[in-house]
Every structure is written in C-alpha cells, then in structure tokens.
Amino acid sequence: MISKDFEQSSIYNDAEKIDRYWKNLQPHLQADFVSKEKWKKSINFLEQVSFQNSVIVLIWNVLLKRYVFALDKRNICGQPMEAYLGENGVDFSISKMHPLTMDANLIMQQKSFEVFNSLSSQDKLKLVISFDGLYKMGGSGSFHFLQQAICIELDSNGNGILFLSYIHDISHLKKNNTANLVTSYPGQICMWNYNFGNKTLETTASLSRQEKTILGFLSKGKSSKEIADELFISPLTVDTHRRKLLKKTNCIDTTGMITYSKLVGLI
C-alpha cells in the first residue's frame, strides 16, 4: 500500500518503479525469522543521542518494510514521528525527499545495499553507510541531511534485518544540489558523487595519502604555511590539495569539510 503523500511525490510515483526499488532492497529472508528486539534496551541511550547530538534516530525492519522506532528530540525535520511508524512510514519518508535529490538518494540507497550484500557477515555489522541530499521540512523549506546507517541485526544467513540510522542537518556544511555516498568499514572507505547532469552515481577517487595527511593537519587548525613546512612542500601545493578535497566532499568551506569528514570517517 502506498500513502497519499508518497503518491504525490513529483518524481517517485510510478508503481513499477516502486516495486523494483523494494525488490532490490529485499533479500531472501527466512520465513521463520523473529527479531529478538534487543534494540529496545537501548531506547534511553537513543533518546540521549537524539537530544544531545541533534539527530533524528530511525530503526528500520527490512522484513516488515517499516520503521519500528523513530525519534526527533530536536524537531529537526518538522514532521510528526508517528507518521514514520505507521504502515506506510517508509513510503512517507521517501515522499519527503526533495525532488532535486530524490533520484540520487534512491540510487545511493541501492548502491549501499550492493556494497552491504557483498560483505561477510562480520563486516556487514561494521559497515557505516553515509549519504546526503535534500529533505522537505514540515510547512515549507528543506534542509540538507546526512543519513548514516548501520546494521544492528542479521538473520542466520547473514541478511540484514534491522538498520539503525542517525540523520543530521548538514545544511551549513554542504553545497546546494550535491549528493555524496560514503561507505566505510575497517580498512576501506569508498566514495561516490551523484552527477545531476547525467543522473548517475560516479565513483570518487579515494583520498590519497597526502590528502589524508593534509586533511588531518587542517582538522588541527594548521595553516597552509604550517602544513607546507611540516611536509616540505609549497603552500600553493597545500592549497591545491585543499581545493581538491573541497571538490570531492562538496563542502562549502574548509571548516565544513572538516566537520563532514569527521562525520563520515574520512578523519
């Protein structure tokens, strides 16, 4: 069943496309699987996380195709949380994606599941998925969100059942009309950038060793000259790397890039 809000979406309103989307995300699950709902023991902790870190917290049950927990202590999205917990809660959430980045977000989610399903069961529980885009707020306006998801429960076949998401408002960090995907687990970070011109998800070159080093120095507040002296290179070379880093992350400025990089695990 599709909610009215979902049907009213300006882009994602084709029934066959909806079916294809869900089939791509739905693994072959055991019919007798029953969630132990261990996550309920963490509700008090999740409430603190939502309030102290100004994030929306969601837990998605893949088997049920619905959210089983939704919290927004700081009212970031301006939407009623009970709408996320209803039978059509996931559809409601998708309907609030801004038309400018909706296709990007759906493609990034599908790519995320490709990466997730390619991993061993052990690595699946270590994978952090981070993607961003625009989300429509209650009333009017929108904000640039960063959604970070991890799997918190697998079935006996290693299929993901429960996913915990933290959603940040990063409007002050990212450029308009941009969308990135970052997947990370121990020893590997992969990055993609959505090309709005040809509507494709393009692989972004991983940060070079020099870029990681310079990003680390920038996060410590060092100037281009100080970094140049440390690395025995010219300040112009440092500034060139800084511009490349800004382009890869689509951030507004260096301060925003540092904050974003810490969030997604680049630092």
**Span 98-109, pLDDT tens digits:** 999 999 999 999
Q: Quote the CA–CA distance of 87 and 195 in Å, as a whole number.
A: 33
Domains (ranges, CATH) in the chain?
Answer: 4-204 (3.30.450.20), 209-264 (1.10.10.10)
Percent of the chain with pLDDT over 90: 75
Task: Tell the residue number behind the tokens 């049920």, with chain if given.
Answer: 64
**Span 1-44, pLDDT tens digits:** 233 333 333 334 444 554 555 556 555 554 445 566 888 999 99
Residue 156 pLDDT: 85
Instruction: Decide: 203 and 191 in contact? Cβ < 8 Å.
Output: yes
Mean pLDDT, rounded, of the chain: 88
In what side-by-side order are the strands of the sheet with 66-71?
Answer: 66-71, 56-61, 160-169, 142-154, 128-136, 180-185, 188-195, 200-204
260 pLDDT above the threshold of 50: yes
Query: Around Cβ 156, how many Cβ atoms within 10 Å?
Result: 9
Looking at per-residue pLDDT, the higher value among 177 and 139 belongs to 177
